[in-house]
């Protein structure tokens, strides 16, 4: 594999993958993107917030007022684990004999970033006086705490009255074939740290102690069995999952004095944060527990119903791949949850997600060419004069 043999999208994807931008590091990925966007006529605004690199870029088509289409994504990637577990170095992009582009970030989501940028460069060259505006919102804090990345940039945009009508997030949305699934919404995520207090003691004298594990077990069983809502046409029912339970000193002859439980709600638009909190509290109170909860809201649910953006994306996928796409709200959270608070229609469209966050992350190299064309045709449908 030599650089001259690569398409523009693959060449850029490899350049990005080769930079070890483990969250929250960016390692020059954004500077590379901004240089290309600046040459295409974008006004550039780097936003260094705490330890996080972000940028906002915008290009007006010169035809007056019109819709704003934003491409959003992240240059940070998750850690690789031991490099020796990989078939090829994770930060040395390779295309194997099966045509797979390998490297950390190939799917999540440096391949998408390359496809977005090349599609926009081509569109601007073909349609220099397009309708409305094209924007990029890029962060290096999506795979980490997500405090000083997209969320913080969105707050700055909100404060100065920036409008985003449509947003395409390059998250790997596809399941079995490119474009078979797009995300038109996400469930909300409400986490909690529950502390149940008892009384420490010797296991041989349980009458002198209060075992918080025993006391909490019926309440936890009731929380797990509770039917929170039925979902709706767009969202599955709200789910409750316990992820961690911790208690004890490590000794086998000590009744613990405290139990800590981590749990999470992934909730639909049929439930509210306040409603879930109140119902959980009522269950704990019914069991007479001495308890405390620290809540952590990661994001509210959002939904983009059929309309201009979803129609354009679906038509472009059909034209390029011949397949019909399925809108879905499944999966985890993404930065789309922050952008949607601006009243923006948000769709996530990217490559297959089969190997994201895994050793030997990879996608079909040819899929990036198709993804570039899908992004390009979406631009044409939404912004070409």
**3.20.20.70, 3.40.50.620, 3.30.365.10, 3.30.70.360: CATH of 188-299:** 3.30.70.360
Task: Look at residue 1 and tell me whether its pLDDT is greater than 70.
Answer: no
Instruction: Give pLDDT, residue 154.
Output: 97
Contacts of 112 (CB under 8 A, 6+ apart): 73, 170, 171, 172, 350, 351, 371
Domains of the chain, by residue range, sit at 8-186+301-383, 188-299
Contacts of 296 (CB under 8 A, 6+ apart): 190, 191, 192, 193
Catalytic annotation present for 142: yes
Task: Look at residue 40 and tell me whether its pLDDT is greater than 70.
Answer: yes
Task: Look at residue 89 and tell me whether its pLDDT is greater than 50.
Answer: yes
Fold classified for 8-186+301-383: Aminopeptidase (3.40.630)
324 marked among binding-site residues: no
Q: Which two tokens stand for residue 136?
A: 């990029």
Please pick, among 15, 27, 76, 162, the residue that the annotation labels catalytic.
76
Instruction: Give pLDDT, residue 3.
Output: 43
- Give dist(CA 37, CA 254) in Å, integer: 63
Hey, do 8-186+301-383 and 188-299 end up sharing a CATH topology, with the first three levels equal?
no
pLDDT tens string 350-383? 999 999 999 999 999 999 999 999 999 999 999 9
| pLDDT (mean) for 82-97 | 96
171 marked among binding-site residues: yes
- Give dist(CA 192, CA 264) in Å, integer: 6
Q: Which two tokens stand for residue 241?
A: 């999952």
Note the residue count of the chain.
Answer: 385
Task: Look at residue 112 and tell me whether its pLDDT is greater than 80.
Answer: yes
Q: Where does the pLDDT of residue 5 fall: very low under 50, low under 70, confident under 90, or very high at 90 and above?
A: confident
Task: Look at residue 32 and tell me whether its pLDDT is greater than 80.
Answer: yes
Instruction: Give pLDDT, residue 332.
Output: 80
- Give dist(CA 96, CA 215) in Å, integer: 56
240, burial (CB in 10 Å: exposed 0-12, middle 13-18, buried 19+): buried
pLDDT tens string 228-272? 999 998 999 999 999 999 999 999 999 999 999 999 999 999 999
Neighbours of 20 (CB within 10 A): 15
pLDDT tens string 268-296? 999 999 999 999 999 999 999 999 999 99
- Give dist(CA 298, CA 303) in Å, integer: 16
Catalytic annotation present for 311: no
Instruction: Give pLDDT, residue 4.
Output: 47
Based on its alpha-carbon atoms, the radius of gyration of the chain, rounded to whole angstroms, reads: 24
Q: Where does the pLDDT of residue 26 fall: very low under 50, low under 70, confident under 90, or very high at 90 and above?
A: very high
Average model confidence (pLDDT) across the chain:
96
357 marked among binding-site residues: yes
Cα–Cα separations (whole angstroms), residue 208 to 152, 256, 257, 287: 51, 12, 12, 20
361 marked among binding-site residues: no
Please pick, among 26, 27, 142, 335, the residue that the annotation labels catalytic.
142
């Amino acid at each position: 594999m030599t650089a001259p043999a690569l398409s523009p999208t693959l060449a850029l994807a490899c350049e990005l993958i080769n930079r070890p931008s483990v969250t929250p590091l960016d390692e020059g990925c954004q500077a590379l993107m901004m240089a290309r966007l600046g040459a295409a006529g974008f006004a550039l605004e780097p936003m260094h917030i705490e330890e996080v690199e972000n940028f906002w870029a915008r290009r007006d088509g010169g035809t007056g007022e019109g819709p704003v289409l934003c491409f959003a994504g992240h240059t940070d990637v998750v850690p690789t684990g031991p490099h020796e577990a990989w078939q090829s170095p994770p930060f040395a992009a390779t295309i194997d004999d099966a045509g797979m582009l390998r490297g950390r970030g190939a799917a999540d989501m440096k391949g998408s970033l390359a496809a977005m940028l090349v599609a926009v460069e081509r569109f601007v060259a073909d349609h220099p006086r397009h309708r409305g505006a094209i924007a990029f919102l890029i962060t290096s804090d999506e795979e980490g705490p997500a405090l000083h990345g997209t969320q913080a940039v969105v707050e700055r945009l909100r404060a100065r009255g920036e409008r985003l009508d449509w947003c395409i997030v390059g998250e790997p949305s596809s399941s079995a074939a490119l474009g078979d699934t797009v995300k038109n919404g996400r469930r909300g995520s409400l986490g909690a740290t529950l502390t149940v207090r008892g009384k420490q003691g010797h296991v041989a004298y349980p009458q002198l102690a209060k075992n918080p594990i025993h006391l909490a077990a019926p309440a936890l069983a009731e929380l797990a069995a509770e039917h929170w809502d039925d979902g709706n046409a767009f969202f599955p029912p709200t789910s409750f999952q316990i992820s961690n339970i911790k208690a004890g000193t490590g000794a086998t002859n000590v009744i613990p004095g405290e139990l800590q439980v981590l749990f999470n709600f992934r909730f639909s638009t049929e439930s509210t944060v306040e409603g879930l909190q109140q119902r959980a509290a009522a269950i704990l109170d019914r069991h007479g527990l001495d308890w405390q909860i620290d809540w952590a809201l990661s994001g509210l649910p959002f939904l983009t119903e059929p309309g201009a953006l979803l129609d354009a994306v679906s038509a472009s996928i059909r034209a390029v791949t011949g397949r019909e796409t399925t809108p879905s709200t499944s999966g985890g959270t993404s930065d789309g949850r922050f952008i949607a608070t601006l009243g923006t229609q948000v769709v996530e469209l990217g490559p297959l997600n089969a190997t994201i966050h895994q050793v030997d992350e990879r996608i079909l190299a040819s899929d990036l060419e198709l993804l570039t064309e899908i992004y390009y045709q979406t631009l044409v449908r939404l912004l070409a004069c």
